[in-house]
Structure 1
Amino acid sequence: MYKIRVILDTKEDVIRTILVEDNLNLEELHLTIAKSFGFGGREMASFYRTDEEWNQGEEIPLFNMEEVGEGISMQTCILNDSLPEENDKLIYVYDFLKMWTFYVDVIEISSGKKEGLPQIILTVGEIPSEAPEKEFVAEKLDDGFGDEEDIDDEYGHFDDDFDYNEY
Structure 2
Amino acid sequence: MIYRFRIILDTHEDVFRDIEIEASATLEDLHNALTQSFGFDGQEMASFYISNDLWEEGEEISLFDVSDEPGGIRVMNETTLEDVVDEENTRLLYVYDFLNMWTFMVELADIAELEEGIMYPNLMFAHGQIPEEAPEKEFIAEEIDEDENFDEEFDLDPEDYDNLDFDENWN
Sequence identity (%): 46
Displacement of 1:70: 6.2
Give the conservation status (yes or no) of the 8 Å contact 2:5–2:109: yes
Larger Cα-atom Rg = 1
Change (3 A) 1:65 1:140: farther
Between stretches 104-113 and 13-22, larger displacement belongs to 104-113
Give the conservation status (yes or no) of the 8 Å contact 1:87–1:107: no
State yes or no: 1:19 paired with 2:17.
no
Aligned counterpart, 1:133: 136
Q: 2: distance between equivalents of 1:77 and 1:15?
A: 24
Q: 2: distance between equivalents of 1:105 and 1:87?
A: 9
Displacement of 1:71: 3.6
User: Unaligned 5+ residue runs, structure 2?
Assistant: 163-171
Aligned counterpart, 1:85: 87
TM-score between the two structures when normalised by the length of structure 2: 0.79
State the one-letter code of the partner of 1:82.
V
Aligned residue-pair number: 153
Give the root-mean-square deviation of aligned CA atoms: 2.5
Give the conservation status (yes or no) of the 8 Å contact 1:86–1:106: no
Secondary structure, counterpart of 1:101 in structure 2: strand
User: Unaligned 5+ residue runs, structure 1?
Assistant: none
TM-score between the two structures when normalised by the length of structure 1: 0.81
Structure 1 residue runs of 4+, over 3 Å off?
A: 68-71, 135-141
Q: Deviations over 1:8-63 (max 9, x none)?
A: 00010001001111111001100100110000111100001111010111111101
State the one-letter code of the partner of 2:114.
G
